[in-house]
């Protein structure tokens, strides 16, 4: 099941003992509840919703949607990358984009 989910870009199922055995399949792990449980702030969540909708986010996008400086955007995108929620694609500079990871680590 895990392999099949991974092959089609879905999060791994969640297995738990609950009145027997229960498996939960998610179409998308990046729900607002999940993001809040990770301790993310409102700007992080706003940016991740944007990345989810558009398929990517840039530093400039982050600056615009959150009304923050370039430095703040860089720091906060770095935090999301360190938490393995976003992955950086491209080298440092204008060509850099950030995409949601397929299966983030908590």
Range of the domain at 82: 31-106
pLDDT at site 6: 65
Count the domains in the chain: 2
pLDDT at site 29: 67
Instruction: Indicate the average pLDDT of the chain.
Output: 84
Please, are residues 75 and 63 in contact by the beta-carbon 8 Å criterion?
no
Task: Classify 88 as helix, strand or coil.
Answer: strand
**Pair (68, 22) in one structural domain:** no
**Pair (55, 105) in one structural domain:** yes
Where residue 69 sits, what CATH number does that domain have?
1.10.10.10
Q: Which residues contact 51 (CB under 8 A, 6 or more apart)?
A: 57, 86, 98, 99, 100
pLDDT at site 105: 43
pLDDT at residue 79 greater than cutoff 90: yes
Please, are residues 55 and 99 in contact by the beta-carbon 8 Å criterion?
yes
**Pair (4, 53) in one structural domain:** no
State the average pLDDT over residues 28-36: 76
- pTM comes to 0.69
pLDDT at residue 32 greater than cutoff 50: yes
**Pair (73, 101) in one structural domain:** yes
**Pair (47, 7) in one structural domain:** no
């Amino acid at each position: 099941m895990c392999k099949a989910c991974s092959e089609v870009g879905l999060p791994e199922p969640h297995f738990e003992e609950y009145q027997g055995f229960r498996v939960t399949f998610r179409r998308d792990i990046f729900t607002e509840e999940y993001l809040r449980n990770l301790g993310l702030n409102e700007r992080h969540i706003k940016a991740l919703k944007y990345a989810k909708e558009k398929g990517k986010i840039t530093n400039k996008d982050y600056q615009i949607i959150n009304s923050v400086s370039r430095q703040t955007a860089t720091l906060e995108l770095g935090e999301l990358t360190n938490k393995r929620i976003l992955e950086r694609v491209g080298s440092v500079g204008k060509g850099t984009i950030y995409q949601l990871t397929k299966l983030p680590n908590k």
